[in-house]
Chain A
Amino acid sequence: MSNEILEVKAISGHRGGTPGRGVSRAYDVCKLVDTTTCIGCKACEVACLEWNGYDFRETTFDNTYQTMPETAWNFWNLIKFNEYSTDDGVQWLMRKDQCMHCEEPGCLEACPADGAIVQYTNGIVDFNQDNCIGCQYCVTGCPFNIPKFNAETKKVYKCTLCSDRVGAGLEPACIKACPTGCLHFGSKDDMQIEAEKRVVQLKANTSWKNAGVYDPEGVGGTHVIYVLGDARDPEKYGGLPANPTVPIFVRLWKGPLKWLGGVGMVLGVLGVFMHRVRYGAKRVEGEEHRS
C-alpha cells in the first residue's frame, strides 16, 4: 500500500540509497486520540472497514461491547473496552486501538523483505503487501500487537494511517467519522500541544487528576498519541503497554548480530553448492515424461 505521493524516509531490507526519497515533502503527521472524550461508538471501526474495502467478518459474543478481542488482518481499528473498578464505583475505559506508527518502527526493523515496509518522512509506517514474504517477523517486532497475518494470502496487514487519503491531503477515515471530536489529526507538533493543553484542563477541571499524554519514548515516540485520563496505568486502557520497546532480539538481529545472517547466508549458499557437487542436479519426474 505504499504511496508514491509520500516521501519515503526508510525502507525495509534494502541496501544502498532509499528509493523515493525526495519525492515529496510533508510535515510529520499525527493522530491524537483523546480517550476522555471517546464514547466507544465505533464509527471509526466502520469508517476504517468501509474506506479500506473490508466487509463482514464473523464475530461472536464475548461478554463485552468490544467488537473482537484484538485487531485482525481485515479489521485494523478496534475500540478496546475495559470495565475498571475504582474505590467509588466503576470506570468504563474506551481506547481506539490501531497501528501507532512508531518513529522507530519495530516491524520495519524486523522485516527482511525488500520494500515490504516503508516509513514515510511524514511518519506513516506502511506495509506493501506486494513485497511481503509472509515471514511475520514484523509481528514479532511490534510491541503493540498490530500486524496481522492472513493465512490465505500469506501476507501481513495493518492500519496505513490512510496513507492514500493523507497523500491526497485528506484526514484519515477514522478522523473524519468521529462524531465527538475525540480524534484529531495534524502535525505532530500541533497534536502534542493540543494534547498537553487538554491534559492541563483535565487535571484542573475534572476528576482525571492523573491525566497525561501517551507518546512512548521506547519506540522513539509515535505518530498516534493518546490523552489518557489516567496516565499512570496505560495497561488498563485495553492493554496499552506502559513502556513499549522494540524486542531486544529484533534490535540485535538487525543491528550488531546482522553479520550472523550474512554468515548464515554464505553457509547456506555453500551448502547448496556442496549438495550439487555431491549428489548432482535434482530430477523432476514430470520432465522425464515430457521428454
Chain B
Amino acid sequence: MTNGWIDIKNTDMMLIMGGNPAECHPCGFKWVVEARKVRNAKLIVVDPRFQRTASQADLFCQIRSGTDIAFLGGLIYYAIQNNRYNKEYLTNWTNAAFIVKKGFKLPEDGLFSGFDPAAMKYDVSTWNYEEGGNVTGTAAAAIAAGDGPGAAAALAVSVAAKNGAPAAPSLPPDAAYDLSLEHPRSVFQLLKRQYSRYTPEMVSSITGIPANELTKAWDLFTSVRKDGDMKKAATIIYAVGWTQHSFGTQIIRTAAMAQLLMGNVGRAGGGVNALRGHSNIQGATDLAGVFDILPGYLKVPLPTDNDYTTYVTRITPKPSKPKEWDSYNYWSNTPKFAVSFFKAMYGDNAKKENDWGFQYLPKIDRNYSWVNQWNDMYNGKVKGLLTFGMNGVMIGPDSQKNIDALKKADWLVVGEIYPDETSAFWQSPGITDDEKRQIQTEVYRLPCAGFAEKDGTFVNSARWLQWKWVAVPPPGEARVDQEILARIFLKVRELYQKEGGKFPDAILAASWAYTNQNNPSLVEVAKEINGKALADIKDEKQTPSEWKAGQQLPGFGWLRDDGTTSCGNWLYCGSWPDSGSNSQRRNTDDPSGLGIYPTWGWSWPANRRVMYNRASCDLNGKPWDPSRRQIWWNEATGKWAGNDVPDFKADSPPKDHMGPFIMNPEGVGRLFVPLAALADGPFPEHYEPIESPVANQLHPQQSTSPVVKKFTTPLDKYGDPKDFPYICTTYRLTEQYHYWTKNNPVNMQLVPEPFVEIPEELATQLQIKGGDRVKVSSIRSSYYCKAMVTKRIRKMSIAGKETFQVGIPIHWGYKGLPDGRPEEQRTPANLLSPTVIDPNAYTPEFKGFLVKIEKV
C-alpha cells in the first residue's frame, strides 16, 4: 500500500476492484466502514461477482474478469474530458509535460513501436523521453509538422536489428517538456489519445458493464476532483483480482495513472493500495520473495554483470528531468545499499579487493519464477524442491502439471503443520495403484511450527513491521523454520568444506554469526537485517552525529558504500536501532488524528506511513487540504515538518522544484513508463486473457498480449470458447484461509463443501438446480463440486454476445476434513487454471479462464 489500512478512514471515495476486502480482509474492512460512517465516503465496487464487499457498496458494476484495463482506461479518459484533474499537480508532480521520443507509436493496432514478432519482445528504444529542455509554446508548430505519435515506428526496430546488440538505451538527463501540455508528443496528449479509444460504448462491449453504469461509476469516482478542486481524496484498493492476469502489472499501472492524473497519490485517504493476502506477504516481497530481486528491491545480477562496478552502474539510475527542476533520485544511493547488503551476507569475506563478494551472488541466466520452476521440474531440469509455508500443488496453476512435475523429481521436502496435498501428491485424485508404484520421488515431511509457535515480525499490507511473541511452544518434534533451514545449511556447508564441489566459495564465504548456529534467534536475524556500524562512523549533518562500531543503525541515511556498515535490507534500516526494537512498540498515541500512530510498530521506509507525501502539498509546500495536514514546508526552520515523516529531502525548499516521487529518476510520477521498466508497454492497453470468449475488440488481430508466451509441455493446453464457453474466476471465502483451515472443524462447519457459483440464467439453461453435483472442466482437467445457483452473478453482453461467468472458491483439496469424502469431491480448484504468466511480475492467470459445466 502507498498508504495504509488505517488511512482508509481519511478517504472521501473508494474504488475497490480486483479485491474483496469484506471477505478476505474483514478486519481491515473496518476502516472502509469507518470512512463511510464518519466521512460519508462513497464506495464503488467493481467485480465479476456481487460479493460481500459489493453488499456494502454505493455503486456496484459487474465486470467481465480480465477487462479491468478497459474500465480504468475509460475512467482516465472520462477524467480528462470532464476536467476532473488538477493541472498544478498533473504538470508538476507527474511526467504529463515530458515529451516522448519521435517514433514512439501507440498500440492502436495492438502493438507499440519496436515489436519483434520472432522474439515476441519489444525493442524499447523509442519508449523514451526526448532530450532538449523547455519546448513550451512549440506545440502548434509540431502539430503543423505532422509531428504526432504513430509515425516512423519501423525505423527504430530496423536500426536496432542491424546493429546487433546496441548498448541499452538510457534516459536523457535533460528531458524535453511542455508545461502547456499541448505538444502532440507530450505524455499528456499521448495519454489522452491512447484512452480516447476507450469510449463508454467500447468499454461496455468489452467489460459487459452497461454504458450508463460505466459513466455513473466514472462520474462518481472522479467527482472528488470536480473542476480540479484538490480538497477531497479518493483511494483505489485492490488485491490479487488484479495481479492474477497475463497483464496484471498493467492493471495496477492503470490505477496508478488514474490516481496520478487525479492528484490522489501521496495524500491521506488516497493512494494505490494493495491488500496482501497473508499476514507477511509484504515481508516476503521485501526480503527477496521474487527470484529477480534481492532484499530491499535491489536487482539480482545478470550473467553480463562481469564485476561489481558493471553491476552497480547498471542498477543505479541517473536523474532524468527538465533542467530547471530538481530530482532526488533516491536510488542513486544504490551502491550504499548494495555494499551494506554484501557485508551482511558475507561479513569479513566481503572486501573492496574482492568486489565486496559480488561474485558469490548467483546470477540469473533464465526465468526462475514460480511457474517456470515447476515447468523446469516437469521438464526434468529441477530435481528437488524444498517447500515451507506453502502448498505448491494447490497453489497451482494447473495442479496436475505440478503433481506430474513432482512425480519426476528426485526428492521433495515439505515443512508444514498439516499433511498437505503437496507432500501427498502421490495420493492425488485419479491416480492408480500402478502409477503410485512407479513414483520414485523421495518425500520428506517435516513437522513445522505454526505462526503462534514462533516469534519474529509480520510486515502487513501497510508496510508495518510488528513483532509477535511465541504464544505456545511447537508440539512434539515440530521445529521452527529457521532451525530446519539452519541445520540444512550447516550440513550443506560441511559437505562443501569436505568435498569442494563446483563453487564452494559462495557457501563457505557466507556469514553465519549467530549465537546458536543450529537455531538462529530471530532477534539476531532482525538486528542483522536492520544493520549496524562496522567501524566508527560520523556524519555532522545528522543527530547524533556518530555511531560506534557494533552499534545498530537508526536509518538508511547512515549506510555507506565503503564497507563500514552492514545491512540485510536497507528498507528495514531503522526497525531495530540501538535503542531497541521499534517493531515491538505498542504506543496508541495518534496526535494528528490521521491514524498515523507514529510509535506503534514501525513502517518502512523510515517509519513514514504515507509514501510520496510531498505530493500532499502544492508547489509552495502547503497541504492541498488543511484539514488533513500530513507534512508541510516550514519556512522558518528551512525544513519539511509534519505529522508523518516527510518522504522527501528534509531541507529541499519548494522553489527548487524537487519532485515528490523520489524513487523515480524523474522525481515525478510516471503516467508514461519509459524504456524497459515494463515488458509490455509504456501505457497499459487492454488485452484479452489467454483464454477468452471473444477477440479483442480494440484490435482483433492482436487479441492477447504480444509478449506473453504460452508454455509448451504436453500438459499446457489452452481452451477454445467453442468447447469451453464460460469464463471462470477463482477466489477465497471469509470462512476459510487458503488450504489450512479445511483441517479445522469450525471452519468446515461454516462452509462444509466445495461449490461453484453459477448465475441463475445459466443454471436454468443447463437445467442445474442449487445443490446439484456438477463437473466444471477446463481443457486441462475437471473439478467436482456442488452448484450454488445465485442471483449475484448476472448474464452479460460481451461484443453483443450473451456471456456467463462462474466462480470457484479455492479452499478444498484431497487432504483435510471431513475424512472419508469420496475422491471426486477432493479435486483442487487449480486443476482448471492455465499455465500462463504476467510478463513483468510472473503471476499466473488464475482469473478469467474458460470452462464448461455439466451435471453429474
Q: Which residues of A contact B (CB under 8 A)?
A: 36-37, 39-43, 45-46, 49-50, 55-65, 67, 83-85, 89-94, 179-182, 198, 201, 205-207
- Beyond A42-B750, A83-B791, whether A63 also contacts B770 by CB under 8 A is yes
The answer to whether the Cβ of B54 comes within 8 Å of any Cβ in the partner chain is yes
- Beyond A39-B22, A41-B734, A49-B746, whether A92 also contacts B792 by CB under 8 A is yes
17 additional A-B residue pairs with CB within 8 Å, beyond A92-B52, A201-B37: A37-B33, A37-B56, A39-B55, A41-B23, A41-B26, A42-B750, A46-B746, A50-B746, A55-B745, A59-B749, A61-B755, A61-B786, A63-B770, A65-B733, A92-B50, A179-B26, A180-B26
From residue A75, how far is it (CB to closest CB) to chain B in Å? 9
Count of A-B contacts judged by CB separation below 8 Å: 106
Write the B833-849 contact mask toward A (1 if CB under 8 angstroms, else 0). Answer: 00000000000000000
- Beyond A41-B22, A181-B34, whether A56 also contacts B749 by CB under 8 A is yes
From residue A41, how far is it (CB to closest CB) to chain B in Å? 4
A-B pairs, top 5 by smallest CB distance, nearest first, are A63-B770, A56-B745, A39-B22, A92-B55, A61-B753
Determine which residue in B52, B53, B733 has the highest number of CB atoms from chain A within 10 A of its CB, and name it.
B52
Closest to B57 in A: A207
B735 lies within 8 A of A180 (CB): no
- B residues within 8 A CB of A205? 40
B791 lies within 8 A of A85 (CB): yes
- B residues within 8 A CB of A182? 33
Write the B607-633 contact mask toward A (1 if CB under 8 angstroms, else 0). Answer: 000000000000000000000000000
In whole angstroms, what is the CA distance A49 to B43 when docked? 33
- Beyond A39-B22, A49-B746, A90-B791, whether A59 also contacts B52 by CB under 8 A is no
In whole angstroms, what is the CA distance A70 to B335 when docked? 64
- B residues within 8 A CB of A64? 788
In whole angstroms, what is the CA distance A92 to B60 when docked? 12
A59 lies within 8 A of B26 (CB): no
B752: contacting residue among A61, A90, A198, CB under 8 A? A61
B60: contacting residue among A40, A89, A180, A181, CB under 8 A? A89
A92 lies within 8 A of B54 (CB): yes
B790: contacting residue among A39, A59, A83, CB under 8 A? A83
Listed by A's residue number, 19 A-B pairs whose Cβ atoms lie within 8 Å are A39-B29, A39-B55, A40-B52, A42-B750, A45-B750, A46-B746, A59-B749, A59-B750, A59-B752, A61-B755, A61-B786, A62-B770, A63-B771, A85-B791, A90-B50, A91-B55, A179-B26, A180-B29, A180-B30
The answer to whether the Cβ of B728 comes within 8 Å of any Cβ in the partner chain is no
Closest to B817 in A: A56
- B residues within 8 A CB of A58? 749, 752
The answer to whether the Cβ of B284 comes within 8 Å of any Cβ in the partner chain is no
Closest to A60 in B: B752
In whole angstroms, what is the CA distance A85 to B52 when docked? 16
The answer to whether the Cβ of B176 comes within 8 Å of any Cβ in the partner chain is no
From residue A8, how far is it (CB to closest CB) to chain B in Å? 34
The answer to whether the Cβ of B751 comes within 8 Å of any Cβ in the partner chain is yes
In whole angstroms, what is the CA distance A58 to B819 when docked? 13
- B residues within 8 A CB of A41? 22-23, 26, 52, 734
- A residues within 8 A CB of B36? 37
In whole angstroms, what is the CA distance A206 to B57 when docked? 10
A63 lies within 8 A of B26 (CB): no
The answer to whether the Cβ of B58 comes within 8 Å of any Cβ in the partner chain is yes
- B residues within 8 A CB of A91? 55
- B residues within 8 A CB of A93? 55
The answer to whether the Cβ of B789 comes within 8 Å of any Cβ in the partner chain is yes
Closest to B54 in A: A92
In whole angstroms, what is the CA distance A31 to B611 when docked? 40
- Beyond A41-B26, A205-B40, whether A180 also contacts B746 by CB under 8 A is no
